[in-house]
């Protein structure tokens, strides 16, 4: 069953009493404002108006940070230099990423070189042989304790022989590792020498080119003088010989540069 709620007229007197009570509580404040001088009341009013105006001006003219978006281009810092090596082989692993900044003598890649692979294979074979000898040595020790004195002597000789073999293998491993280090050092030295040779040949080519150009200009000048009968045929032949010598020197230097480039490939 639904219930209906009705308002009762008995509540009105309570509401009126509450209103009268609030007015009585506020009456001291109203009396205080009325008793204040008029210039103070106006001052308070002006202050309120001024506060509202300042708030509006700040809201309209206040600085707002703006964020703008624009495309950007990343420019690498430092020197960009092509990388090349005189070691023949296949690149199996890159140790740096494209655009990464590197330092001097930092490894950049792993190269599968025939010489290096051969030496590493020999080192690995020697290490496997050494491991096999160690296993044989470890297996032979328990057997030695179970055999007779004669067998013990034989086992001692065998152990001594295996130890000698182990030492020989260790020396072989150390020697082959050293050979690998020397090979790597030799590659570095060869690369450095080839770079120095190429730089020297480039300087020689520059000098030879300048010399040939100068001799060519002098030859042309002498030819003009010969046409005007201001120079002799002897001077012309001398100028021609100087030009031929300078041209031959330039051709020789360029040939040496080509040979150096072929050696570095």
Mean pLDDT of 243-252: 89
Cβ atoms of 101 and 78 closer than 8 Å? yes
At residue 1 the predicted structure's pLDDT band, cuts being 50, 70 and 90, is very low
Whether the per-residue pLDDT at 23 is higher than 50: the answer is no
Considering only 9-13, 171-175, 220-224, 241-245, which range has the smallest mean pLDDT? Answer: 9-13
Least confident of 11-25, 33-47, 59-73, 122-136: 11-25
Quote the pLDDT of residue 14.
44
Using alpha carbons only, give the angle 109, 260, 212 rounded to the nearest 5 degrees: 140
Q: What's residue 9's pLDDT?
A: 37
96 CB neighbour count, 10 Å cutoff: 13
pLDDT tens digit sequence for 138-156? 777 666 666 667 777 788 8
* Host H or E run for residue 112: strand 109-112
DSSP secondary structure letters along 49-60: HHHHHHHHHHHH
Task: Work out the average pLDDT over 62-86.
Answer: 58
Q: Give the residue from 159, 187, 183, 132 showing the smallest Cα distance to 124.
A: 132
More confident residue, 68 or 107: 107
Least-confidence region, from 9-18, 45-54, 193-202, 233-242: 9-18
Residue 137, both tokens: 């040595």
Token representation of residue 162: 């295996």
pLDDT at residue 121 tops 50: yes
pLDDT in tens, 26-68: 445 455 555 666 767 677 677 778 887 877 777 776 555 554 5
Give percent of the chain with pLDDT exceeding 90: 2
The pTM (predicted TM-score) of the whole model is: 0.31
Residue that wins the pLDDT comparison between 264 and 213: 213
pLDDT in tens, 195-229: 888 888 888 889 988 888 888 888 888 888 888 88
Contacts with 156 (C-beta within 8 Å, 6 or more apart), sequence order: 144
**Could you tell me the residue ranges of all domains in the chain?**
108-264
């Amino acid at each position: 069953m639904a219930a209906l709620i009705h308002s009762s007229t008995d509540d009105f007197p309570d509401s009126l009493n509450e209103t009268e009570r609030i007015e009585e509580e506020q009456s001291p404040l109203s009396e205080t404002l009325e008793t204040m001088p008029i210039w103070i009341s106006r001052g308070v009013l002006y202050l309120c108006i001024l506060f509202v105006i300042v708030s509006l001006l700040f809201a309209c003219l206040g600085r707002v940070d703006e964020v703008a978006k624009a495309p950007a281009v990343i420019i690498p810092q430092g020197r960009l230099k092509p990388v090349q090596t005189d070691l023949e082989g296949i690149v199996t692993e890159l140790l740096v990423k494209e655009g990464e900044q590197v330092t001097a003598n930092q490894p950049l890649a792993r190269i599968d070189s025939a010489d290096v692979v051969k030496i590493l294979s020999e080192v690995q074979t020697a290490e496997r042989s050494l491991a096999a000898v160690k296993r044989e040595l470890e297996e032979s020790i328990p057997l030695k304790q179970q055999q007779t004195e004669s067998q013990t002597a034989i086992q001692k000789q065998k152990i001594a022989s295996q130890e000698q073999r182990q030492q020989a293998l260790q020396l072989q491993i150390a020697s082959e590792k050293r050979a690998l280090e020397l090979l790597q050092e030799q590659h570095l030295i060869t690369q450095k020498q080839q770079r120095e040779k190429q730089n020297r040949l480039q300087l020689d080519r520059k000098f030879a080119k300048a010399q040939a150009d100068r001799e060519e200009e002098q030859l042309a000048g002498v030819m003009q003088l010969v046409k005007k009968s201001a120079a002799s045929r002897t001077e012309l032949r001398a100028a021609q010989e100087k030009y031929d010598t300078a041209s031959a020197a330039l051709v020789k230097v360029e040939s040496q540069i080509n040979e150096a480039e072929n050696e570095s490939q």
